[in-house]
Amino acid sequence: MIDSKFLDSSAWLAYFYGGNEEIKSIVESDTILLTSAIYLFEIKNKLIKNKIEIAKLKRSMEFIKKEV
């Protein structure tokens, strides 16, 4: 059986901000990652509010899309 995890926006933000080793180990494992489109919107909105540079924002969003 293939292991999969559904990550919400708070999990992705914890990964990007480096605040949670458990999330980091999940994202960087061979686990299949799932997320919803609304979470992508929430992540992008949060990164924009935190004034993340556009290039880093684009890389972050592409990383998520590649992983899920």
Task: Please return the burial class of 61, using the count of CB atoms within 10 Å of its CB with bins 0-12, 13-18 and 19+.
Answer: middle
Summarised one tens digit per residue, pLDDT across range 35-68 is: 999 999 998 888 888 888 878 888 888 888 887 6
What is the domain count for the chain?
1
Q: Give the pLDDT band of residue 1 (cuts 50, 70, 90).
A: low
Mean pLDDT across the chain, nearest whole number? 87
Residues 31, 3 contacting (CB under 8 angstroms): yes
58 lies in which domain range? 4-67
